[in-house]
Amino acid sequence: MQDLLTEIAEVAASDPDRGSVATYIPELAGIDPGQFGIAVATAGGEVFAAGDADTPFSIQSVSKVFALALALGHAGDQLWHRVGREPSGLSFDSVLLLERENGIPRNPFINAGALVATDTYLAGSSPREALGALLRFIRAAADNDSIHINEKVAQSEIATGHRNFSLAHYLASFGNLRNSVDKVLGTYCHQCAVEMTCRQLAMAGRFLVDSPRMPALVSIERRRRINALMMTCGHYDGSGDFAFRVGMPGKSGVGGGILVVSPGRASVAVWSPGLNRYGNSKLGTEAMERFAHRTGWSVFGVPHSGKDLT
Ligand code: GLN
């Protein structure tokens, strides 16, 4: 496993075609696209890493996985009255379907659906309390108390997030927000501004891997459902392509991070800031395709040889 990760990091380091860094959040616009990190945390408790696996990055929409777990903890299946479970086939910040579908976002991983999840875990508490609960969840999953929110990134997004504000106002106009638009947006932008390294994110992702060594943060049924949503919706309008190429549930973020789950085996975090046309990490996706091919890991079948890298 270590040799494979080292090889994948070397291939990525020498790739001249790195995609483009997200510029619509000014604080992220200056990130060096030359970086690449990958880490694997196995169900058995081992961690492997290569490249810039200890460099913190903005997890952005990867946070929606933790937010969904927290929202489900608050509302249970009631959440599904307010948000759907279908891929949207549109970009993460699209407003198009909200009008046609009466303010019920297609899924919890597009921005509109994630705003409903944030509104749900806010419940009656203050943003500070809600974000405290989110950080406690992430820190417990990662077994690391140093994970924090980058305030500058949060403020940068709040100051420029016109699309997210319009999505939130749209949701509010259909009665699908319980808290004020400002409160939901402020909390959401802080949630997206959580900073983690690949090593920390791979550790945190183990809450979605069936591992006897992990504290059970969510039930088996919930874990399966979150994984199913990651597979179908975790890469927006690139979800089908990611399932085709990688064959494992994954959640991307515009910071260039991707969290991938191999149920029963391991959690994988990969990061490279340059994005492809869907807004998902370009080299991260390519690295995961190589990783899946070489390990034989897929939720859709076992390799012919029957052997795999665990
Ligand atoms: N904070 C970002 C936004 O709302 C997250 C989007 C993403 O990572 N795809 O635009």
* 98-106: long-range pairs with CB below 8 Å, 24+: 98/167, 98/170, 98/171, 98/174, 99/170, 102/174, 103/170, 103/171, 103/173, 103/174, 103/175, 103/176, 104/174, 104/176, 105/171, 106/233
Give the per-residue pLDDT at 302: 80
Average pLDDT over residues 240-264: 97
Instruction: Quote the CA–CA distance of 286 and 228 in Å, as a whole number.
Output: 21
Between the CA of 254 and the centroid of ligand 1 the distance, in Å, is 6
Does residue 130 or residue 214 have the better pLDDT?
A: 130
Ligand 1: which residue has its CA nearest to atom 4?
111
Mean pLDDT over 263-272 rounds to 97
Q: From the alpha carbon of 253, which atom of ligand 1 is closest?
A: 8
User: Separation of 61 CA from ligand 1 center, angstroms?
Assistant: 5
Is residue 309's pLDDT more than 80? no
What's the gap in Å between 277 CA and the centre of ligand 1?
Answer: 14
The β-bridge partners of 48 are: 40
Q: How confident is the model at residue 216 (pLDDT cuts 50, 70, 90)?
A: confident
Residues with CB under 6 A from ligand 1: 60-61, 92-93, 111, 157, 164, 192, 253-254, 279
pLDDT bracket for residue 25 (50, 70, 90): very high
Q: Give the ligand 1 atom nearest the CA of 192.
A: 1
Alpha-carbon distances of 268 from 106, 198, 234, rounded to whole Å: 26, 8, 15
Calculate mean pLDDT across residues 217-242.
96
Going by C-beta distance under 8 Å and a sequence separation of 6 or more, which residues neighbour residue 92? 61, 109, 110, 111, 236, 254, 279
Residue list, annotated binding site: 61, 111, 157, 164, 188, 236, 254
Distance 164 CA to ligand 1 centre (A): 9
Is residue 214 predicted with pLDDT exceeding 80? Answer: no
Residue with tokens 């297609």: 106
Give the count of beta carbons closer than 10 Å to the beta carbon of residue 212: 8
Q: What is the mean pLDDT of residues 71-76?
A: 97
The pLDDT assigned to 307 comes to 60
Atom of ligand 1 nearest to the CA of 254: 8
Per residue in 136-160, pLDDT (tens digit) is: 999 999 999 999 999 999 999 999 9
Helix axes 162-173, 111-122, angle to 10 degrees: 70
Q: For a substitution probing ligand 1, which of 20, 23, 25 has the most ligand atoms within 8 Å of its CB?
A: 25
- How far is the centre of ligand 1, averaged over its atoms, from the C-alpha of 157 (Å)? 9
Q: Is it true that domain 2-60+195-295 has CATH number 2.40.50.140?
A: no
pLDDT band at 178 (very low <50, low <70, confident <90, very high): very high
Question: pLDDT grade, residue 211 (50/70/90)?
Answer: confident
pLDDT in tens, 290-306: 999 999 999 998 876 65
Q: Are 104 and 175 in contact (CB under 8 A)?
A: no
| Average of per-residue pLDDT across 192-217 | 91
Q: What is the percent of the chain with per-residue pLDDT over 70, rounded to a whole number?
A: 97
Superfamily per CATH, domain 63-193: DD-peptidase/beta-lactamase superfamily (3.40.710.10)
**Tokens 């549930």 identify what position?**
249
Cα 45 to middle of ligand 1, angstroms: 31
Residues of the binding site for substrate: 61, 111, 157, 164, 188, 236, 254
Domain-wise residue ranges, the chain: 2-60+195-295, 63-193
pLDDT at res. 304: 64
Same fold, 2-60+195-295 and 63-193: yes
Rounded CA separation 243/298 (Å): 9
pLDDT of 306 reads 55
